[in-house]
Amino acid sequence: MLSQQRDYVLRTVEERGVRLIRLWFTDVLGTLKSFAISPAELENALEDGMSFDGSSIDGYSRIQEADVLASPDPNTFEVLPWVDSKTAEARVFCDIHNLDGSVFDGDPRQVLRRNLDAARAMGFEFLVAPDIEYFYFAKPGPDGVPVPLDQGGFFDLTTTDVSSSLRKETIRTLETMGIPVEYSFHEDAPSQQEIDLRHTDALSMADSVMTFRMIVKEIAAMHGVHATFMPKPLERVQGSGMHLHMSLFEGDANAFFAKDDQYNLSPVAKMFMAGLLRHAAEITAVTNQTVNSYKRLVPGFEAPVHVSWARNNRSGLIRVPIPKRGSPSATRIEYRSPDPACNPYLAFSVILAAGLRGIREGYELPAEADANLFEMDDTMLDKLSITQLPQSLNEALRLMESSPLVQETLGEHIFEWFVRNKRHEWRQYKTQVTPFELDRYLRSL
Amino acid sequence: MATSEKIVVFPGSPSPDLARTLDLGGHRWKAATSPEEAAKSEPAGGWMGAIIACDADPEGAWAFARAIRKRDNPVGAVLVLVSGAQLDDLEMRDDLFDDFCLSPFHPRELEARLTHLFSRAHGPMRPEVVEHSGLALNLETYQASFNGRPLDLTYMEYELLKFLAQNPGKVFTREMLLSRVWGYEYYGGARTVDVHVRRLRAKLGEEHANLIQTVRSVGYRFGQSRWGS
C-alpha cells in the first residue's frame, strides 16, 4: 500500500509540474513549521526521510544530538491551491523520527498516533469535529490595539462585508484541500467568525486544524487583513473557542449511542464523559495553553467555567447536543473549553486519554447540571459538588504537573518541556505592570 | 513494453498441482510470498503475468493482486484461481484480474486460459482514460480533471473516485467500497468511506458535489450531476 501511495505522489508531482514540496510538522506549542525540498529530493525523502537540525524548533531540543528525520506521510500530500499553478507547490505532513528510525518523543503528531493506537487497542476509533472561532482585524497599528473590520453580530447578514467575503474565500480553499466545512457564520462579536468542520478521524483532523489556521491567516494576509486565533483579543466581547464534537466508533457502530437510554447515551459515552470531567482541570493547561486563554474562561461570555455537563445548557463544560433526526451515528458530546490557540495533536491526546481512563476505570457520570450555574453561589455549587476549571495558566500548570495521566499521555520529553516553557511564560507575565493597575492605583495609592 | 517470459505465482508455496501444470506447460515461473518479494525478484523486462491462487489465503491473495496491479508498472495479465465458494469475491474486482479459473482446476483448462491470456496481453492496451460528465481520470498518469481543470486528489480519494467512475450508476454499500477500494488491511470502518466521499464532494465543488449521490441507508452511487456539465 505504501509503495503505491509513494508512486502516486511522485507521479502527481511530475504531472502537475510541482516545483516545491513543503514538509510540514508541528512544534510542541502547536506552531506549524515547514521546510521546502525540490521534486528531485522527494523520492529520497519518502524513502528515508529528510534530516534537519531540530534544535531551533520549540520543544525539540535535546542534549545529546540535534538532528532528527522528517518522514513525509504520503496520505497527506496536497497541492496548495493558493499558489499560482505555474509554480505549483505542494505540502505533506511529516512524522518526526530519530536518525536510527525510532519515534522522536518531541513530535506532537507521534504523541497523538500513540494515543490513537491505545484507543484502537480498546476497539475504538476517535472522531472529532471542531467549531473554530477567530477574529479578523485591520493590521494592528503602532499602539498594538486591534481594530475590528465590522460591528456585525451573530448570524448578521453582512453581504458586502470584507470579512464575509474573506470567510467565503477561505471556505472555498479549505474545501479544495479536502477539508469539508459543515457550517460557517458571523459570530457574536465584531469581526468574529466561526467555521465548523465536518468530523473525521482525530489524526486527519489535527492535520486539518493546522492547515485551517494556515489558510485563514494566508487568505486574510493576501487582502491586507490580520486573522487571529488569540483566545480573548477584545475585553468586552466573547473570546474565541474551539468546541470539539467527539464520538467513539466501534467498527461501524457509534459506541456513544444507546437506544434505550433517556439521553440516548451508552455506558461507554457516560464513562468517557465522567473521565473527561474528572480530569478536566489537569488537562486544561494543554487545551488552554496561553496566559490569555484564561481571560476567555470567565462568566458572562458563553465560555465554560464549571466542570459540569448538560444537554442544552451552554454554561456547562460538556454539552450533549440532540442529534438531527435522532440519528445514532450523529450522537456525540461537545467539549467546550479548548481554544483555537492550542496544539491540536496534544489537546486531542489528553482529551482522549481522560475519556479512555473513565472507560477503563468505570467512572460514574455525575448528574446533569441543567440550571444556569452562573447564577448559583459557591455553597450551592459545593452542594452539587461542581468544581471550577483553573482560573489562570499558573493554576492550570500546577494541576498538570501533579497529573500522572497527562505525564503518561504526553510522554516525559514533551511533558517536561511544556511545563518548563509555560512556567517561564507565566513568570514573564507576572512581572508586567498592567494599564489596569496604573489606572486603579497610581493616583489613589 | 518488453516483457520477459516469466510468470509470478502467489502464494509462496503453490500447490503441487499448480507447480506441476506450469512445469509441464513449459512455463518459466517463480513463487512470491509478498508484493515486495515479487518486485525484488522481478526480471528486467517485468513479469509476463501472474497467477494468484486465492484458496488458502484469500485476503493475502487479493492484497497481492491489488499491489501488483496498482503499482507504477502494473503486471498486465493476471489470472486468479478461486474455489466455487469464492466466486462472489470476483464481483467488482474486475480491475484486479483478467481471467479466472475454478479451483481445483483441470490442467488442460488452466493451460488453455494461460495461452489465451498471454496472447491477449500483447494485444491492444486497456482504455487509459475514464470519462464521465466532465470528469476525466487518466489511469496512466493518475491525474484527474474536471471540465479541463485539474483536480488535486490524495491517493485514496483518487482510488475511490476511479472505482466509482468506472462503475457509473451502480449502488455500492460502504462495506463493498471499503473492501474493494481500500482492501482488507484498512482499519477505521465504513465511516472512512463517508469521510472520503465528503472530501471528494468538497473538491468537486458545490455544483458537482452530487456526482456522488448518497443512496439512503444503502451507500453511494456515481452518476450524472443534477446540474449537468
* Residue boundaries of the structural domains of chain B: 6-121, 129-222
pLDDT digit string (tens) for A402-444?
A: 999 999 999 999 999 999 999 999 999 999 999 999 999 999 9
Rounded Cα distance between B1 and A360, Å, is 58
Residue A445 lies in a domain: no
In the block, cell 470528469 appears at B135
- Looking at the fold, whether A175 and A41 belong to one and the same domain comes out as no
Q: What is the pLDDT of residue A194?
A: 93
Residue B1 has pLDDT above 50, yes or no: no
- Looking at the fold, whether A89 and A50 belong to one and the same domain comes out as yes
Structural domain boundaries enclosing A164? 113-436
Residue A322 lies in a domain: yes
Rounded Cα distance between A203 and B27, Å, is 48
Q: What is the pLDDT of residue B229?
A: 35
- Looking at the fold, whether A31 and A138 belong to one and the same domain comes out as no
Question: How is residue A214 written as a grid cell?
Answer: 494556515
Residue A354 lies in a domain: yes
- Looking at the fold, whether A241 and A300 belong to one and the same domain comes out as yes
Residue A281 lies in a domain: yes
Q: What is the pLDDT of residue B5?
A: 66
Rounded Cα distance between B164 and B180, Å, is 11
Q: What is the ipTM of this complex?
A: 0.79
* B143 close to A (CB below 8 A): yes
CA B195 to chain centre: 22
Rounded Cα distance between A156 and A324, Å, is 24
Question: pTM of the full predicted structure?
Answer: 0.82
Residue A362 backbone phi and psi in degrees, to 5: 65, 40
Binding-face residues of A in 101-130 toward B, CB within 8 A: 120, 125, 127
Domain boundary residue among A104, A139, A168? A104
Residue A199 lies in a domain: yes
Q: Does this chain's domain B6-121 share its CATH topology with B129-222?
A: no
In the block, cell 441507508 appears at B217
Q: Which CATH number does the domain housing residue A381 bear?
A: 3.30.590.10
- Looking at the fold, whether A221 and A86 belong to one and the same domain comes out as no
| pLDDT-based confidence at residue A159 (cuts at 50, 70, 90) | very low
- Looking at the fold, whether A63 and A184 belong to one and the same domain comes out as no
**Per-residue DSSP letters for A348-363?**
HHHHHHHHHHHHHHTP
Rounded Cα distance between A186 and A196, Å, is 12
- Looking at the fold, whether A72 and A153 belong to one and the same domain comes out as no
Rounded Cα distance between A182 and A178, Å, is 13
Question: How is residue B76 written as a grid cell?
Answer: 498486465
Number of neighbours of residue A23 by Cβ within 10 angstroms: 22
Closest CA to B10 of B57, B45, B47, B44: B57
Please state which of the four CATH numbers 1.10.600.10, 3.40.50.2300, 3.40.720.10, 3.40.50.1000 is assigned to the domain occupying B6-121: 3.40.50.2300
Q: Positive or negative, the Cα torsion across A160, A163, A165, A167?
A: negative
Nearest chain A Cα distance for residue B202, angstroms: 5
pLDDT digit string (tens) for A14-31?
A: 888 899 999 999 999 999
Residue B122 has pLDDT above 80, yes or no: no
- Looking at the fold, whether A90 and A151 belong to one and the same domain comes out as no
Q: Positive or negative, the Cα torsion across A411, A307, A119, B67?
A: negative
Rounded Cα distance between A187 and B131, Å, is 43
* B30 close to A (CB below 8 A): no
CA B197 to chain centre: 20
Residue A441 lies in a domain: no
Q: Which CATH number does the domain housing residue A7 bear?
A: 3.10.20.70
Domain boundary residue among A104, A138, A171? A104
Domain boundary residue among A104, A131, A146? A104
Radius of gyration, alpha carbons of chain B:
19
The tally of domains found in chain A comes to 2
CATH 1.10.10.10 matches B129-222? yes
Residue A293 lies in a domain: yes
Nearest-5° angle of CA A389, CA A390, CA A395?
Answer: 165
- Looking at the fold, whether A94 and A166 belong to one and the same domain comes out as no
Contact indicator for B194, B174 with CB cutoff of 8 Å:
yes
- Looking at the fold, whether A157 and A202 belong to one and the same domain comes out as yes
The verdict on a CB contact (< 8 Å) between B156 and A179 is no
- Looking at the fold, whether A269 and A121 belong to one and the same domain comes out as yes
Q: What is the pLDDT of residue A231?
A: 97
Q: What is the pLDDT of residue A212?
A: 97
Rounded Cα distance between A243 and A230, Å, is 15
- Looking at the fold, whether A171 and A249 belong to one and the same domain comes out as yes
Nearest chain A Cα distance for residue B212, angstroms: 15
Residues from chain B that touch A127, judged by Cβ atoms under 8 A, are 191
* A441 close to B (CB below 8 A): no
